[in-house]
Amino acid sequence: MDSSKTVVMNRPEHEQPRPRVELGIQSDAAFTEAAKALRGRDLTSISDLSVQELAAILELAHAVKGRPEDFRHALDAKQMVLIFEKASLRTRLTFETAINTCGGNAIFVDQTQSVLGERESLADVAHNLERWVDVIVLRTYAHETVTEIGENAKVPVINALSDYEHPCQAIADFCTLEERFGSCEGLKFTYVGDGNNVCHSLMLAGALLGAHVTVATPKGYEPELDVIHKAIAFAEQTGGSIQLMHDPVRAVTGADAVYTDVCISMGQENEATKRTPIFRPYQVNEDLMKHAAEHSVFMHCLPAHRGQEVTDAVIDSAQSIVFDQAENRLHAQKALLLMLLGGAKRIPRDRGMGKRRRA
């Protein structure tokens, strides 16, 4: 594909357009309905959520951030296990802090020196864990590990990162954008870099929230086709849109938010020599950010490889909200746990609380 060409992916022919849905939570009854539907569920993918369910989680995240004492005992005696095959700073600490500050308890199992499913089957792991804990949080290499344990466990299973998606990160990121802009509806959101797990979840969440999502990747590093189709279907319901292209300048032009991630993820270290020159034109630097809107923000899920996918001048700039994103991992995950474990209650958010609105 020519580097200047924009691709607006079409909906698969066998899928019919879906009717538009109402964005946001408009009443206590709507929140209660979403909370009831989420209780006891798994979160393996953003696509597990409806428009209203994602909106309810975000509304609750704002509530717990503003009034944490109201939820101090909401998860009393609840037990959460975190089983991680990959290293983690933000995900582990925010999940542990989230349940601890709601009255529950966290148990961390370091699986970084072995692989889930090798010592015993994933089904047997699930059947053991469900007897001891109320929720299972998994950070794995293979997405199938999350889905198989989810299919076998009777307690909620949360995907805390897999090779396919990073839904908890996306929830925190759009929570951060709502803080900044008041709403994500109509937001011009651009992702530059590898069409990876983070990109997948951002596309799906952005589409569910009515944002206009543009993704710029090198050729051969586009998002998975099934994710593209799901995101397009969601965007048709909400008035959002999905665009794919290879030109980072065109993608960033006029954007309200510019997002990037590492181009060499954990487990891809042996591809560094190949990937580094391919992704060099996709570095988010001051020259690229000049094409974004004047009020634009820069985002990154962290950890960042400074000087590779982003420069110090951008990530340390006044436009950068990367540490707001990191903070909101805590509030978003607390909201998610409250929803899945039955501790949610509605405290309506002031919809006009955005710090900075688009022009």
Binding residues for carbamoyl phosphate: 139, 166-169, 301-302, 329
Amino acid at 213: V
CA atoms of 99 and 359, how far apart (whole Å): 38
Nearest Cα to 41, choosing from 61, 25, 24, 57?
A: 57
Q: Give catalytic status of residue 301 as yes or no.
A: yes
Could you list the residues known to form a binding site, using ranges: 139, 166-169, 197, 261, 265-266, 301-302, 329
**Tokens matching residue 339:** 């929803």
Q: Give catalytic status of residue 199 as yes or no.
A: no
**Tokens matching residue 296:** 């634009």
Q: Give catalytic status of residue 349 as yes or no.
A: no
Which member of 42, 173, 194, 261 is catalytic? 261
Nearest Cα to 136, choosing from 126, 123, 151, 148?
A: 126
Q: Give catalytic status of residue 169 as yes or no.
A: yes
CA atoms of 301 and 326, how far apart (whole Å): 7
**Tokens matching residue 105:** 């308890």
Q: Characterise 251 by phi-psi region: left (phi > 0), alpha (psi -120 to 50), beta (else).
A: alpha
**Sheet holding 212-216: strands in order across?**
6-7, 241-245, 212-216, 188-192, 257-260, 297-300
H or E stretch covering 192:
strand 188-192
Could you list the residues known to form a binding site for L-ornithine, using ranges: 197, 261, 265-266
Q: Give catalytic status of residue 39 as yes or no.
A: no
Which member of 92, 180, 275, 329 is catalytic? 329
Nearest Cα to 9, choosing from 356, 190, 169, 245?
A: 245
Tokens 């699986």 sit at which residue?
111
Among all residues, which ones are annotated catalytic?
A: 139, 166, 169, 261, 301, 329
